[in-house]
A and B are shown apart, each in its own frame.
Chain A
Amino acid sequence: MKRRTWTGLAFCSPLILGLLAFTVLPVIASFWFSLCNYPILDSPRYVGAANYVEMAHDDRFWHSVQNTFVFVLASVPLGMIVGLGLALLMNQRVPGIKVFRTLFFLPTVVPLVANSVLWIRMLDPESGLINSFLRFLHLPEGWMPGWLSDEHWAMPGLILMSLWGAGGGAILYLAALQDVPSELFEAAELDGAGPVQRFKNVTIPLISPVLLFTGVMGLIGGFQEFGRAFVMTSGGPWDATLFYCLHLFNSAFTEFRLGYASAMAWVLFAVILLSTIIVMRASQKHVQYEQ
């Protein structure tokens, strides 16, 4: 028996080493840094909760919190609705279903930077595809959104861009829909349930675990939104797209305030943990797992 312990440890030794070196120790260090004043070239000096207190009084911090919540609360539900819509449409007897599935999924494969370059162009107020299309529809020139150059339109622009990736969720919903036994629908139909009722009372409950999963993953990813804004807007214009993690990155690597940035990271972790728990709790009654 003893020998098996050594065997197990040996097989898992890279994992154990990695967990210690790249997770456990950095987590402890990070918590310590968050209680310190730590300019990058100096050594950390303990300041208690000062970083956390400063955060509460930092207008840009709150602004970044607000931006991030707006992004998450808009992009996650919209992405799920679009994804579900696509999945329902694909769940018909359609010729060339594989082609459709591929077309909707491909945008999720595009690398972040290439995607950002593409969408800076897409959202160009003058010659971008979106405004060109709006002009094609003869919308008055005064209605043209300025997208990334306009502080009120930059965030909607990024949310629109995120919807292009809704096909990733659609693949999952489609897989779940195809697992739903057809007898359930036939039974509901016999009981006189219309299409809306069948959707509400049969389809949604049966794929609810997948909906919950994509919702939670979307939430976690959304709170960590960084690259898009970094490449496309640098947080501008006027901080309109200053996401939480962009502010965190800037605090650490342009202002070199490692203590403050570490404290921000811990607040982020708390927010992610808390919102995940809230969503799980709130959905408990509505999500149905197979028996």
Chain B
Amino acid sequence: MRKRPLRIPGFLALVVLAALFSLPFVWQVSTSLKTEDQVGKSEMDLIPRAQMLTLNGSTVEVKPIERKGNEQVVEILSGPQKGAKVSVSPSGLKLKPHLEWSNYSEGFKAFPFFLMLRNTLVICVLTVFGTALSCSLAAYGLACVQWKGREVLFWTMLATMMLPGQVTMIPLFQTFKSLGWINTILPLVVPAFCGNAFFIFMLRQFYRTIPSSLMEAARIDGASDLRIWATVVLPLSKAALAVVAVFSFIGAWNDFLGPLLYLMDDDKYTLAIGLARLQGQYSSDWGRMMAMSVVMTLPLIVLFFLAQRTFIEGIKIGGVKG
């Protein structure tokens, strides 16, 4: 459809909505840089500020503790007199813009962040590798090799997409338990090496569009199927494989139920579980919690900007053909 000409009210509505949709992000980042004192305030303020007091000519950050008559007792948080409590008149206190970076440094210390990041990345990398490998092999088998039974397999695979994970969750848990796989990453990564119906479906559709003359030519030259897959099909399907990689990475990074079920020890946890646990324990320290939620979101936003076209393609494939 030819785009309709721009009308001012429509454009304004778009701008207002875009502001509304970005507001939670702005607020998330802003809260992650606010002092504990300001986070608890009910006024809407997107700019992080701290109470400042001018003491002996230098400005220091303070935290209000209690009121005594006309005086306000504050704790000094920075400068040489750090930790001291002084009583001052409220008019001497000023709110000034201030970024509380310690929410980030304290947040990293509140739980074994870097260990959990490593755990998460190990699972992500293995998942992406396993998914891309198994799905492209299966898609080749379903699209490029003529054999009896492939239609049956294809339709069986599609039918399993209808099945909610809750049905298989309990028997799988029991199976992994009897295999001794609980508290290891095996239940989270081994299934990735056995393909994913949606990605196989997508790759199969793509492989069918590859001219068979290309594969025939390679076959006449004496190439085996494995060689044709590796040297003809894979290089041609880089874009589709990128979709598989990006979306399986996001799936593994965001997965909550899997690690919740199968990982038991702190030192095995992924970021998703670590953050959820932190939320349960330190639910009062919001600056820190927000800082950690920013840290967990940021890689995906960066990934989105790096692979924007891949994202949009993947969503369209999912939406139009799925």
Contacts and interface: CB of A to CB of B under 8 A. Distances in A.
B260 to A, nearest CB: 8
B276 A231 contact: yes
Contacts of A105: 304, 311
Given A129-B24, A265-B164, A227 B18 contact: no
A94 B225 contact: no
A133 B193 CA distance: 48
A102 interface: yes
A205 B172 CA distance: 43
A238 interface: no
A92 interface: yes
B146 A269 contact: no
Interface stretch (B36-44, B60-68, B81-89): B36-44
B276 to A, nearest CB: 5
B42 A109 contact: no
A204 to B, nearest CB: 13
B208 interface: no
Nearest to B303: A109
A237 interface: no
A252 B27 contact: no
A135 B147 contact: no
B238 interface: no
B153 A15 contact: yes
B230 to A, nearest CB: 12
Interface in A21-45: 21-23, 25-27, 29-30, 33
Nearest to A86: B17
Given A14-B137, A103-B21, A214 B7 contact: no
A8 interface: yes
A118 interface: yes
Given A8-B141, A11-B137, A185-B1, A16 B153 contact: yes
A114 B289 CA distance: 9
Nearest to B305: A102
A92 B279 contact: no
Contacts of B25: 106-107
B296 A111 contact: yes
Interface string A97-128: 00111111111011111111111111000110
Contacts of A273: 162
Interface string B107-128: 0000000000000000000000
Interface string B148-181: 1110010011001011111111111111000000
Interface string A162-186: 0010011001100111111110110
A15 B134 contact: yes
Nearest to B308: A102
Interface residues of B, number: 97
Nearest to B43: A132
A111 B168 contact: no
B40 A30 contact: no
A261 B14 contact: no
Contact of B160 (A12, A23, A175, A184): A23
Contacts of B1: 91, 177-182, 184-185
Interface residues of A, number: 103
Interface in B29-54: 31, 39-44
Interface of A: 4-5, 7-12, 14-19, 21-23, 25-27, 29-30, 33, 86, 89-95, 99-107, 109-122, 126-127, 129, 131-133, 135-136, 164, 167-168, 171-172, 175-182, 184-185, 210, 213-214, 217, 220, 223-224, 226-227, 230-231, 245, 248, 252-253, 258, 261-262, 264-266, 268-269, 272-273, 276
Interface of B: 1-7, 10-11, 13-14, 17-18, 21-25, 27-28, 31, 39-44, 134, 137-138, 140-142, 145-150, 153, 156-157, 160, 162-175, 191, 193-195, 200, 225, 229, 250, 253-254, 256-257, 261, 271-273, 275-276, 279, 283, 286, 289-290, 292-294, 296-297, 300-301, 304-305, 308, 311-312, 315-316, 319-320, 322
Given A15-B153, A102-B304, A268-B166, 13 more contacts: A12-B138, A91-B4, A92-B5, A93-B6, A94-B11, A103-B18, A107-B24, A111-B296, A113-B271, A129-B24, A164-B21, A181-B1, A261-B170
List of 6 A-B pairs having minimum Cβ-Cβ separation, nearest first:
A18-B194, A11-B141, A8-B147, A182-B2, A29-B171, A132-B44
